[in-house]
Chains A and B, each alone.
Chain A
């Protein structure tokens, strides 16, 4: 993510290329999409992040003008636009989760939308060659689509939408059916072309790594609602709900109740086990408020029990190591004690600390890395 661009995006006011307001869509009496406002600004990559069943694909179809909402409007460049509007054709282009490539050659596919938009031959060739260059499809352009790998097919689908030079490019789970190395390549391709042409992109995904790697802003979709819109960094630091915290990789501690809020704004929370833990920020917390506390396993600092702490350190717990499981290049360590915790450490620190089931270890949770959510009634 480019922080400068993100900052621009935030300061810009109302310059939405595509803006949906009051969007409602229900099937069989159940609201699938219920969004007050969501929009993408010029040159911005907006990720819409949500779990399966959150209404992502319906939202994709609504924003792509493939489906009529029950209520609400979609504006394109300030103009209200509806499915089937001839003027909107090609201004929003979509890449599907499983892109359907029309049978024939790669070139035929790249040409499809250009022909549909009735662009002159010279312009079609120019854009086609540019896209072939940009996405390195040179060797593939005359190949039949049946002979493409999954990653190649997805790149063709991306190129086929990009040649239209749409105002907004929409992608629905573009990496969901790709294996890990191909995913990385696709993300790089997408990021490069989106930045190079300052494209407005809406990326719909269930995968936080897609959203965090590519987006300037992330909108979290849960049960058809947008529950938070924030820059990726802010979403991790300051998730609005326990659901968002968990969905973006945080873990939930046991529930507790606020004991006191000190002069610095730190809140002391008594967990169900009786252990005390300090949490910040804690603006909306009062004594007695029941809370859920979340933390991220990568923020848990482990140290040997022989380590001497200055003064009386907060949030240091002596714990017993439970399961030790390799997680990729890292190690995930289960900890038992006043609360059940998980920590993620590198292989080498796991070795240095002698992390074996049954060993004793100090776990330090920085108050700033903890977040307390007011528990629901």
Chain B
């Protein structure tokens, strides 16, 4: 019990004093996962919208792929990206392995199906009548599609939040393709693994608390938006 209490106390001290190591790790995490979610949204959201709203050949295959992507193990993604970027791999000459770029690539592959899947569900939850109603009021085809997407906007926000939550807490892929190099590719999750192994429970816990806080803040913001939307 003492171990946990001591670790908690020290963790708060680390947080309060803003230790440079923790701050660096935190900022890199945000940079990597933030970039990854942007890419994931650019990739996943149009796919989810198309799969949920349009009729085209291969739509069912796309939906199956999106749902498979939900269960994609981060280490497997890490493996593929590793092989892709390793010196003897297809784009090994770019020298991206063990850089933040590699981590961003791996995490965006993980984020895209999440974003696509939740987007798909969100646009399908909106009655298709929205588009007919928009057309019946003089909207063109694309404006009508936009009206539909707009009605799904809470779900789209949830897609972004959930995608970000999935990648910022992921460790397998970033560990493999980033290598957990101090000052270069060490992010919160890989740091927690390392500090725990070293027995630096206070530092690990401080990082863990920050991660938890992130998850909490993101969900709080989303809940707030949802409630405001309902109450209006």
Contacts and interface: CB of A to CB of B under 8 A. Distances in A.
Interface of B: 127, 129-130, 132-141, 143, 147, 150-151, 229-232
Interface of A: 61, 64, 66, 84, 86, 89-90, 92-94, 96, 98-100, 102-103, 112-113, 116-117, 144, 146-147, 160-161, 164, 170
B147 A113 contact: no
A116 B136 contact: no
A90 B135 CA distance: 9
B232 A113 contact: no
B150 A102 contact: yes
B232 A112 contact: no
B129 A164 contact: no
A99 B133 contact: yes
Nearest to B154: A103
Given A116-B134, A146-B230, A100 B140 contact: no
26 contacts: A61-B132, A64-B136, A66-B132, A89-B139, A90-B137, A90-B138, A93-B136, A99-B133, A100-B127, A102-B130, A102-B133, A102-B147, A102-B150, A102-B151, A112-B134, A112-B137, A112-B147, A113-B137, A116-B134, A116-B137, A144-B232, A147-B232, A160-B137, A161-B137, A164-B138, A170-B136
Given A116-B138, A147-B232, A96 B133 contact: yes
Given A96-B129, A117-B138, A146-B232, 13 more contacts: A64-B136, A66-B135, A93-B138, A94-B133, A94-B137, A102-B130, A102-B134, A103-B150, A113-B137, A113-B138, A160-B137, A161-B136, A161-B137
A143 to B, nearest CB: 8
Query: Which 3 pairs show the lowest CB-CB distances between chains A and B?
Result: A90-B138, A144-B232, A113-B137
B145 to A, nearest CB: 13
Nearest to A104: B232
Contact of B136 (A96, A98, A102, A117): A96
A160 B143 CA distance: 16
B130 A100 contact: yes
Contacts of A86: 140
Contacts of A93: 136-138
B143 to A, nearest CB: 6
Nearest to A67: B132
A313 B154 CA distance: 74
B134 to A, nearest CB: 7
A183 B135 CA distance: 26
